[in-house]
């Protein structure tokens, strides 16, 4: 069968490869609008997808706004490209909650993220329930939660703020996105392995594993857009992005082995591992015979690392980007922090102010700032589902068995029909009650940053705690200045990282005693 269809896949390959490299090098100096889908003979809408590869989120937003929050995409015959793209909250509730068993991740999703195949993000049904139950039990362990909070607080005080102080004292501009990536890489590995990789330090050590994670998400994005047989042919030939991905897989597997070796050394040095019992996540999985397979173990650990590092690190970068342009919002955050900080400043006038996780837990406006950033800049801007059996969505559209459904979180946050005429404005007040003392209820099928239904994010509270700790401690101690002349645009990736990073300068705030 594969050999019979080889000519069409070869033709697609010849089309995709040059365009992929062209757009991967594209500069944001180009302000060309997204190209709307045209139904070409034979190739159907595939050329429009490729032409908008480097700005797919904006492309989806434009088309969804013009088509009533839903549209279909078909590729060349024989490629299996049958996409239904949506950002309709009613459809999302149906897909994620009401009839979620009919919309699994599917085998193709697991193939796209093959380095994580068998991990929580790529499985469905009973295996997913089993793994979620296990992870939920682990992450609800009070001892582990306390350690994660302690690690987060100490990492901010002893590493991040020290680095920021050095940058401010030397008036050095730096890439905030890289620092957030380093911070969250360490904070993801520490609860997982009980070991600190030490990426966030003044000497800025190499971060091969973090770069490899970026590669996984960039190539996965490519795999989502092109026909499966096209990227599988590239993998078979070891060319293009597939060659780069193969090298990244090797780096990540090596990283897991290195961390486990370091864990063994640390464990033996504290006396038969008693100090590690119940403290790192791996302790719970190593005792479970279900996870003894090497591939399963790699999938589990890499899935956790990518989820914990990418989502929070990316969100923090966009938060700093937005706050650096909204000094009035920064002032409101500082006013909310002031009652907590005043006691600390009085006791230690010349010391950095660090905010404990339990001190920021009840801060309503700070949480509204986080949610408003996640609304406009969701770290995972696209969700992918498969259709098991024919179904009719609440919008009236019929989807067929074997169809792929793409849910655009990025577009949903930018739809006037969902968020109002000011949907493109950065306005944390939209999340507050009239008196400003409480958060307004927004259903998860309208705000999908933490997923919805049975697959709701298990690490939501930890992620919010970490973001609050970083933002509060940074904004109280420093002014963040965005360097002018930058090109701010997303990477072509499954994660909404900035293509060129975020270059900023810091200035130490002068406190009035």
Query: Residues marked as binding for heme?
Result: 457
Which residues line the annotated binding site? 457
Tell me which residue of 84, 405, 49 sits closest to 225, measured CA to CA: 49
Question: Do 412 and 89 meet the contact criterion of CB atoms below 8 Å apart?
Answer: yes
Ranges of beta strands (E only) in 409-452 are: none
Q: What are phi and psi of 351, to 5 degrees?
A: -90, 155
Tell me which residue of 38, 55, 57, 56 sits closest to 47, measured CA to CA: 38
CA angle 89, 375, 482 (to 5 degrees): 160
Bridge partners of 468, per DSSP, are: none
Rg of the chain's alpha carbons, rounded to an integer? 23
Tell me which residue of 380, 495, 386, 365 sits closest to 440, measured CA to CA: 365
Q: How many CA atoms lie within 13 A of 99 on its CB side?
A: 18
Kindly tell me the burial class for residue 418, based on how many C-beta atoms sit within 10 Å of its own C-beta (0-12, 13-18, 19 or more).
middle
Residue 390 in 3-state DSSP? coil
Q: Which residue has the tokens 């992005």?
A: 241
Element spanning 73, H or E: strand 70-74
Q: Where are the alpha helices (DSSP H) in 325-459?
A: 327-347, 357-360, 364-376, 409-412, 416-419
Question: d(Cα 222, Cα 294) in Å, to the nearest integer?
Answer: 27
Could you tell me the two tokens for 512? 């009035």
Question: Do 34 and 62 meet the contact criterion of CB atoms below 8 Å apart?
Answer: yes
| Phi-psi label, residue 194: left if phi above 0, alpha if psi -120 to 50, beta otherwise | left
Question: d(Cα 181, Cα 314) in Å, to the nearest integer?
Answer: 8
Q: How many CA atoms lie within 13 A of 196 on its CB side?
A: 13
């Amino acid at each position: 069968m594969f050999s019979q269809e080889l000519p069409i896949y070869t033709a697609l390959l010849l089309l995709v490869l040059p365009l992929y490299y062209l757009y991967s090098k594209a500069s944001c100096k180009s302000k060309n609008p997204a190209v709307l889908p045209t139904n070409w003979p034979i190739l159907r809408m595939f050329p429009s997808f490729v032409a908008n590869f480097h700005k797919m989120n904006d492309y989806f937003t434009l088309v969804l706004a013009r088509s009533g929050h839903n549209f279909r995409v078909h590729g060349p015959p024989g490629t299996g490209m049958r996409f239904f793209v949506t950002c309709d909250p009613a459809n999302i509730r149906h897909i994620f909650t009401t009839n979620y068993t009919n919309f699994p991740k599917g085998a193709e999703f697991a193939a796209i993220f093959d380095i994580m195949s068998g991990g929580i993000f790529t499985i469905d049904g009973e295996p997913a329930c089993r793994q979620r139950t296990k992870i939920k039990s682990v992450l609800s362990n009070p001892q582990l939660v306390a350690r994660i909070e302690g690690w987060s607080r100490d990492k901010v005080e002893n590493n991040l703020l020290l680095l920021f102080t050095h940058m401010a004292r030397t008036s050095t501009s730096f890439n905030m996105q890289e620092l957030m990536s380093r911070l969250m890489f360490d904070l993801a590995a520490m609860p997982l392995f009980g070991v600190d990789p030490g990426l966030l330090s003044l000497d800025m050590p190499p971060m091969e594993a973090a770069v490899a994670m970026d590669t996984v998400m960039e190539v996965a994005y490519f795999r989502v857009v092109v026909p499966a047989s096209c990227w599988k042919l590239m993998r078979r030939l070891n060319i293009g992005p597939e060659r780069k991905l193969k090298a990244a897989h090797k780096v990540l597997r090596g990283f897991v082995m290195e961390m486990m070796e370091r864990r063994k050394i640390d464990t033996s040095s504290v006396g038969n591992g008693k100090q590690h019992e119940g403290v790192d996540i791996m302790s719970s999985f190593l005792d479970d015979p279900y996870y003894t397979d090497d591939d399963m173990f790699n999938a589990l650990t890499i899935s956790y690392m990518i989820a914990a590092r990418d989502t929070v690190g990316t969100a923090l970068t966009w938060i700093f980007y937005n706050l650096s342009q909204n000094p009035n919002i920064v002032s409101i955050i500082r006013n909310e922090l002031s009652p907590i900080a005043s006691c600390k400043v009085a006791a230690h006038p010349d010391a950095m102010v660090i905010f404990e996780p339990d001190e920021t837990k009840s801060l309503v406006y700070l949480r509204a700032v986080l949610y408003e950033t996640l609304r406009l800049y969701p770290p995972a801007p696209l969700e992918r589902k498969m259709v098991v059996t024919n179904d009719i969505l609440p919008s009236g559209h019929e989807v067929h068995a074997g169809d792929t459904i793409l849910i655009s979180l990025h577009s949903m946050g930018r739809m006037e029909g969902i968020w109002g005429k000011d949907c493109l404005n950065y306005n944390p007040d939209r999340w507050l009650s009239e008196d400003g003392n409480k958060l307004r209820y927004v259903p998860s099928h309208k705000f999908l940053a933490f997923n919805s239904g049975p697959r709701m994010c298990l690490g939501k509270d930890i992620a919010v705690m970490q973001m609050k700790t970083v933002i509060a401690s940074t904004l109280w101690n420093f002014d963040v200045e965005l360097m002018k002349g930058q090109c701010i645009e997303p990477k072509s990736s499954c994660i909404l990282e900035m293509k060129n990073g975020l270059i900023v300068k810091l200035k130490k705030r002068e406190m009035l005693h």
